[in-house]
Structure formats: structure tokens, C-alpha cells
Amino acid sequence: MISTKGRYGLRVMIDLARNDNGNFIPLKDIAERQEISKKYLEIIVKRMVEGKLIVGSSGKGGGYKLIRKPEEYTVGEILTLMEGTMSSVACLADNAYECPRKKKCETLPMWEEFDGIIHDYFYGRTLKSLL
């Protein structure tokens, strides 16, 4: 299940795209429009800055801004950054321990196929498509 990190993160990206006028957009404005606590959003955007999805600028006239054009972000990369992994099961997560039953597991092929569907869905959809 997608947590608030992923959901709010996406909404911040949409908000930044929607209200882009070339200047930095203060988090206060985003928080008000999106009706999310600014304090909590700080955690969200921090990760987005670290992940190079957006850029921040301190001080007056500061705020956040997209780095690329909306059509150059996939929803998948945004969610993956925010959620850590997009795998449906722990066995297939990025940091997965090597499961000893891997070869004889009767459910693994299904999880793999399903993860492929998830991947195709979210990586085949751009931020622009959400505007």
C-alpha cells in the first residue's frame, strides 16, 4: 500500500507543475493548497530534493521548483523514490535477502509477473498525464 510519502510526494509534484511560473514556489503555499501540514511536507520534499526530482532555494523568494519538464518525470520514478521500493513482496524488494526457497517457490513467478505489470503501469505514465 502506497503511504503518504508517495501520495503526498506526487501531489507536491503536481502542485509544482501546475503553479510553475519560473520562480520558486514556497512550501507554505503548497501546504495550503494541498491541505497538508507544512511540517510534514518538509520531510517529503527533503527526499525529493535528495533524489533530484526538485530543487530548493532558501531565503526570501525561495521555495521549490521542478528540475525537468512534467513530461520528463514518470510516476514510477517519483513513487519509487518516495516509497523506497515498488515491489509487491519482500522477496523481490531491492534490498531482498536471498530466499532459500526461491527455486521451488510456486508463487514467485506470479509475484514477478505482477511486479512487471506494476512497473509498466507507473513507468508508462508521466507527471504531465496527471495535470
Partner DNA sequence: AAGTTTACCTATTATAACAGTAGGAAATAA
Partner DNA sequence: TTATTTCCTACTGTTATAATAGGTAAACTT
Q: Contact residues for a second copy (CB under 8 A)?
A: 1-2, 7, 10-11, 14, 35, 75, 87-90, 93, 100-101, 106-107, 110-111, 114, 117, 121-122, 125, 130-131
**CB neighbour class for 82 (10 Å; exposed up to 12, middle 13-18, buried from 19):** buried
Minimum CB distance to DNA smaller for 25 or for 78: 25
- Distance, first Cα to last Cα, the chain: 23
Residue 120 in grid coordinates: 509498466
When CB distances are held under 5 to 8 angstroms depending on the partner's kind, the choice from DNA, a second copy, none that residue 99 binds is none
When CB distances are held under 5 to 8 angstroms depending on the partner's kind, the choice from a second copy, DNA, none that residue 51 binds is none
Residue 70 in grid coordinates: 512534467
